[in-house]
Structure 1
């Protein structure tokens, strides 16, 4: 499928920007839809066309899937802004795109969710994402649901703590995960265009404990290893408190982070990039 026409939604985000580069490199014809075209510089007009559209506004998506073989959506919000909720974006905006894809009978719809989302529908972020996954599975289109582990960029929270000379963890610190760099994930997603896989979890090459990640962050900043383990009831209390006394805008991302950090999240390993190198590079910025 060398001459595949791909529609990419979410091209200005962390993963989307790597996906655009990976699609260009693989000589895919790409239509990137963006809310603000000024945010995206087109460096390769032979392969990339930028169209202005807002996934939250169905009228702007009219005929956007004409001539498209594969839709890739990384559309979603971690932190709610612009008055939009998870349901507005992670569910409804993707659904608007899916409706257009169905009209044009695209060959495949690839949607990027997150690891173990199907097991955590009680979390506000996943409630919306998984509602869309249900709609995608019922759409009649060929689909792939991608469930990446945490991104390297998410691990910067450890680096930010390490800058203060101490890292605080909940529980034992032995919880395992294998985060992945956006570039490695993007390359794998491009491979999935020609593979008939309905659901896939993807992680990075190294399985690390939270203690390991904390050590890497402190070492990258030349700080002594100071890691403090807080009792797990504090984590549970924070989630309860925020759910009870704050809006979903405040508690959504924290609930997501604190829940996933309390358990092992290991996905099949892919890619070459190491978190150690990412921390070392980021610490110099």
Structure 2
């Protein structure tokens, strides 16, 4: 009998890579997505697709984990400033995952893998990492066997800068000297599924190369164009605080955390192969908008 794995947030960029890597490993894939668009994307990979809003349709989630040995959750609200998604970070990140965890506990799932983020424990004053930490805490008290994977950030997380570069401006907050080793979604998915049951309870993961934020902006400039403009950190913080008061889509919370990561080192153990420069060379700029 095939071993069944549930991929949560399966139609997202990381989720799609996880689906593909799971199939390579011989798993029978069950996929959870919220949208019709996501459903259509997944149809060529599996016929076991649940289209449910995990944050608000708990009754429809009943027994989604029945017959499932393992779960990998890449579920969470987009942090892009340009691509709003429904619901809040509380609903999409915490509540949705908590509902899956509850069903997994009832059905005695063998192991739950959760993709969180670096900063979940050290930057809890910000909404986004705080919601990831709440999921981590929910897993810890569930009694399930689990692993938490904290990437430092994804290359696609800088697609907002690519969009702005296409509009001729590349904003840098602060002096641009904060360092990071962001990772490609495909490399992280491959690492998770290759390491899998050997993963520890908690691991922080980055990509193969460490760069300053300014160096990454210069790479974007080389491939896309645009002028790099440095903005004072204080100005960005004022802007995010004002946005929190007027935005219904939590734009201010995104901008606030974006300011934090642009001005603090975000580095973890090196994994993967694709560099940010290679990513920019291969990405379809017409699709980033």
**What TM-score, normalized by structure 2, do the two folds share?**
0.88
Give 5+ residue unaligned stretches, structure 1: none
Match of 1:22 in 2: 21
SS in 2 for 1:51: strand
Match of 1:69 in 2: 69
Are the counterparts in 1 of residues 11 and 42 from structure 2 also a CA contact under 8 Å?
Answer: no
Match of 2:233 in 1: 232
SS in 2 for 1:193: helix
Alpha carbon RMSD of aligned pairs, Å? 2.2
2-side partners of 1:70 and 1:41: how far apart? 19
- Compared with structure 1, are the counterparts of its residues 153 and 59 closer, same or farther at alpha carbon in structure 2 (3 Å cutoff)? same
Are the counterparts in 1 of residues 119 and 129 from structure 2 also a CA contact under 8 Å?
Answer: no
- Compared with structure 1, are the counterparts of its residues 81 and 227 closer, same or farther at alpha carbon in structure 2 (3 Å cutoff)? closer
Match of 1:271 in 2: 272
Q: Does 1:119 align with 2:122?
A: yes
SS in 2 for 1:276: helix
- Compared with structure 1, are the counterparts of its residues 42 and 212 closer, same or farther at alpha carbon in structure 2 (3 Å cutoff)? same
- Compared with structure 1, are the counterparts of its residues 201 and 249 closer, same or farther at alpha carbon in structure 2 (3 Å cutoff)? same
Runs of 4+ in structure 1 displaced over 6 angstroms? none
Match of 2:189 in 1: 186
Match of 1:175 in 2: 178
1-side partners of 2:162 and 2:32: how far apart? 33
Give 5+ residue unaligned stretches, structure 2: none
Number of positions where the alignment pairs a residue of Structure 1 with one of Structure 2? 279
Shift of 1:284: 4.9
2-side partners of 1:166 and 1:75: how far apart? 31
**Residue range with higher mean Cα deviation, 249-258 or 68-77:** 249-258
2-side partners of 1:230 and 1:78: how far apart? 24
1-side partners of 2:130 and 2:59: how far apart? 25
Match of 2:6 in 1: 7
SS in 1 for 2:147: strand
SS in 2 for 1:264: coil
SS in 1 for 2:214: helix
Per-residue CA shift, 1:213-245, capped at 9, x if unaligned? 011111113x48x43333322223223333345
**Residue range with higher mean Cα deviation, 275-284 or 98-107:** 275-284
2-side partners of 1:248 and 1:29: how far apart? 36
**What does 1:30-179 align with in structure 2 at a 5 Å threshold?**
30-36=29-35, 38-45=39-46, 49-56=48-55, 57-78=57-78, 81-82=85-86, 84-179=87-182
Shift of 1:176: 0.3
